[in-house]
Amino acid sequence: MAEDAPQPSLMPNAEARQKLRKRRGLKDKMSRWGITTAGFGVVFALAMIFVYLFYEVAPIIRGAAVTPLVTVELPVTGETSGAVTQALFMERYEELGLQYADDGRATFFQLSDGEVRAALDLDLPEDTTITSFASGNPSSRIVAQGLSNGQVLVVEHDYDLTFPDGVRHISPKFVFPLGEEPIQLDEQGVALRHLALERRVRGRAATLVAGITDDQRVVLANITSRSNMMTGETTVETEHFNLPAVPGEPVKILLDQQLRNLFVADTEGRIHYYDVSTPANARLVQTVDAGNGSPITAIEFLNGTVSLIVGTESGELSQWFLVRDAHNEYELTHVRDFRKHPAAITSLAAEYNRKGFVAGDADGYIGIHYGTSARTLYLRNYVDQPIEQVAISPLNGRILAKTPDAKIHVAELWNQHPQLSFSALWNKVWYEGRSEPEYIWQSSSASDEFESKFSLTPLTIGTLKAAFYAMLFAMPLAIAGAIYTAYFMSPKLRGFVKPSIEIMEALPTVILGFLAGLWLAPFAEAHLPAIFSILLFMPIMLLLFAWLWSRVLPDALRRHVPDGWEAALLVPIIIGFVWFCVTLSPFVEIWFFGGSMRQWFTDVGITYDQRNALIVGIAMGFAVIPTIFSIAEDAVFTVPKHLTQGSLALGSTRWQTVMGVVLPTASPGIFSAVMMGFGRAVGETMIVLMATGNSPVVNFNIFEGMRTLSANIAVELPETAVGSSHFRVLFLAALVLLAMTFVVNTIAEIIRQRLRARYSNL
């Protein structure tokens, strides 16, 4: 009877199955929701990275903005009712303005309401008038007044800063650095029609003043001053020189702050360049047509007094500076043009600490231009009458514009990143002091006169160069090693080799860079023949050994080595060959390279740096090999066995099977491995930083170094000011690096999918 009892069912009953389906459905929904959320989270995070980088880079694109603030009018006395404004200045806190007039009056006034804070009436000799005016480099704050008797009076405006009750108070003052008495510039006493002034601040203090008299003579005076520390008395010594006459009617005369070069512009649009480095032997070097057929109406130096900005009657603006010719002689060269104004240029004012300038014209237009980037950031009508004088504050936050109705218009200026443009970042730029346009990255200097050079081309080329040589070294070794390990190597040996190579990926790259920079680079320099012998002849040696093993050595000897262990025999062969090359290296240098292969490189015109792309390629190759090897080996090893066994069953050899079946099937995975390795090489920082000279050169010479985008960001970002142009460019470099890897990986994924679809039916 017990045997007839029903056996308990192994399947759950209907109620239990219903609960099981609900739990499974709930788990499926939670898994689907979790995976979907994580996927969208990854995409969102990547999108936010792009958004943040764009947010930091966006201000580069913005142009300048000029916002009118107030119009002031200085009080007019009987003596100043017909005075002409000669120049306008501002102090760095943008609270006070300064006006020099041709009646000898200098007036400090508040920019907010025009209230006069201080004034100076120059004590001129009897029966003399002011006939000319000149200002030195704006940061020096010195000016000179040329008189009708051939004398010059030099004045310096300065400021005392105090904080009574915690409130900033600026007290303007005037100083006479060469004494309060005028200095005789023209010994014949003829009125000075045009004047130039500059003071040398490096070395022995000296002031050079040049003038053009009413009778067209060019006179020059080198003025030195000494102060008695006991009495405070200032002794002034003056040397007088006469220069060759100007072939034309002068408009303006300018001196550079090195006291070496003098430029005279005339009414016919020409600039005459004098070499006054030795005043006693001053000579007219060159005359150029800078006006393009139009008279020159304004001409000024940019900051640093290297570049000349020339404005013409037709509204054209151009930049000129001295360039060495084929004979190593300086010649004044036209460099670039700016957007044309609608009317004659009437006034120019250079920025104090950058290579920008402000231009005003006869139709009341204000233009904001920048030299390095050749950008015109702002050009609009500002007032409805001609602009006589313009000025810009030392921190580039205010503009003054003087009009014929004796009013001074004050405006706020926003112009944060004028030196950045697509052309300045990616194209060749003709920088001051260079003989031709170049790609240069040089972001900072100790001087305000420095011209920032923000070309990303050297960094991008350096990034590709480092990745190229790293992949050139890593790809053959990693892919060939992956194929052999996955298909030919014995399982036992594979179980040791594969984890060992993958552990290499855990090595800190800073250690690899440290070893490459401090050990490999000096070793390679001392054993260059050995390095080249290893790179060139090692593959030949391995092929020769393989031929001897398979064709020459007897079968009885080969049988002692288990199948798949042949690679182990190469270890002593490789070590011995490397030792042989290193030992023979000094003798090879003596026999073939005159004792020094590095010197031989120099003699044939090849630059060799100790830390170069060859060192980076080897060091970075060791960092990239594990990535490529691991992915490629998995791709080859997971090729379905029935494909390889079917090929072998049809009579194919193992090599034919590898080439015709295994590699096509594994090609998507191998291609992904290569792209992952390339991405690792592009983003590598520490190896490149420590194993190269980190110089931003633009070439693919394997014996020179490079600077990459990632290394540049790592080195310079901690030192840059937040929000500065340098800061924005570094974020742009990060955006370029991210975009580069994103585009490469996207293209690689598309190719991988196509390869997978193509070979999926094998």
Under the banding of pLDDT at 50, 70 and 90, the label for residue 205 is: low
Under the banding of pLDDT at 50, 70 and 90, the label for residue 762 is: low
Under the banding of pLDDT at 50, 70 and 90, the label for residue 204 is: low
* Mean pLDDT, residues 330-355: 93
| Percent of the residues in the chain that have a pLDDT greater than 70, as a whole number | 95
Residue 248 contacts residue 268 (beta carbons within 8 Å): yes
Report CA-CA distances (Å) from 294 to 179, 321, 387. 41, 19, 20
pTM of the full predicted structure? 0.87
Of residues 337, 249, 342, 260, the one with CA closest to residue 296: 249
Q: What is the pLDDT of residue 3?
A: 57
Report CA-CA distances (Å) from 471 to 146, 623, 631, 689, 755. 69, 10, 15, 18, 21
| Percent of the residues in the chain that have a pLDDT greater than 90, as a whole number | 43
Q: What is the pLDDT of residue 2?
A: 52
Q: What is the pLDDT of residues 564-576, one digit of tens each?
A: 788 888 889 899 9
Cα–Cα distance, 306 to 724 (Å, whole number) = 24
**Poorest-confidence range of 348-362, 377-391, 630-644?**
630-644
Tokens encoding 689: 């930083």
Under the banding of pLDDT at 50, 70 and 90, the label for residue 558 is: confident
Domain definitions of the chain by residue range: 455-760
Decide: helix, strand or coil at residue 175. Answer: strand
Q: What is the pLDDT of residue 6?
A: 62
Q: β-strand 365-370 against 356-361: which pairing, if any?
A: antiparallel
Of residues 209, 215, 289, the one with CA closest to residue 255: 209
Of residues 375, 341, 352, the one with CA closest to residue 301: 352
CATH number attached to the domain at 455-760: 1.10.3720.10
Spell out the residues 6+ positions from residue 258 whose beta carbon is closer than 8 angstroms to its own: 200, 305
Instruction: Kindly tell me if the per-residue pLDDT of 433 is higher than 90.
Output: no
The residue whose two tokens read 């032997």 is 281
Residue 249 contacts residue 267 (beta carbons within 8 Å): yes
Phi, psi at 550, each rounded to 5°: -90, -25
Instruction: Kindly tell me if the per-residue pLDDT of 359 is higher than 80.
Output: yes
Q: What is the pLDDT of residue 78?
A: 45
Residue 166 backbone zone (phi > 0: left; psi -120 to 50: alpha; other: beta): left
* Mean pLDDT, residues 513-521: 91
Phi, psi at 478, each rounded to 5°: -70, -45
Under the banding of pLDDT at 50, 70 and 90, the label for residue 760 is: low
Instruction: Kindly tell me if the per-residue pLDDT of 429 is higher than 90.
Output: yes
Q: What is the pLDDT of residue 692?
A: 86
Q: What is the pLDDT of residue 244?
A: 85
Mean pLDDT, all residues of the chain = 88
List 110's β-bridge partners, or say none. Answer: 96
Q: What is the pLDDT of residue 355?
A: 92
Q: ∠ at Cα 758 (757, 762), nearest 5°?
A: 100
Residue 479 contacts residue 670 (beta carbons within 8 Å): yes
DSSP secondary structure letters along 465-520: HHHHHHHHHHHHHHHHHHHIIIIIS-HHHHHHHHHHHHHHTTS-HHHHHHHIIIII
Q: What is the pLDDT of residues 699-743, one digit of tens each?
A: 888 999 899 999 999 999 998 989 899 999 999 999 999 998 888
Of residues 473, 453, 475, the one with CA closest to residue 702: 473
Spell out the residues 6+ positions from residue 761 whose beta carbon is closer than 8 angstroms to its own: none
Residue 90: CB atoms within 10 Å: 23
With residue 683 as reference, give the H or E element that holds it.
helix 663-683
Decide: helix, strand or coil at residue 635. Answer: helix
* Mean pLDDT, residues 642-668: 87
Distance of CA 617 to the CA centre of its chain: 24
Tokens encoding 71: 């119009």
Q: What is the pLDDT of residue 201?
A: 58
Instruction: Kindly tell me if the per-residue pLDDT of 1 is higher than 50.
Output: no
- Say how many CA atoms lie within 13 Å of 302 toward its Cβ: 26
Amino acid at 41: G
Q: Tell me which DSSP letter residue 140 carries.
A: G
Under the banding of pLDDT at 50, 70 and 90, the label for residue 313 is: very high
Order across the sheet with 356-361: list the strands. 345-350, 356-361, 365-370, 375-381
Spell out the residues 6+ positions from residue 719 whose beta carbon is closer than 8 angstroms to its own: none
Cα–Cα distance, 667 to 664 (Å, whole number) = 5
Q: Tell me which DSSP letter residue 110 carries.
A: E
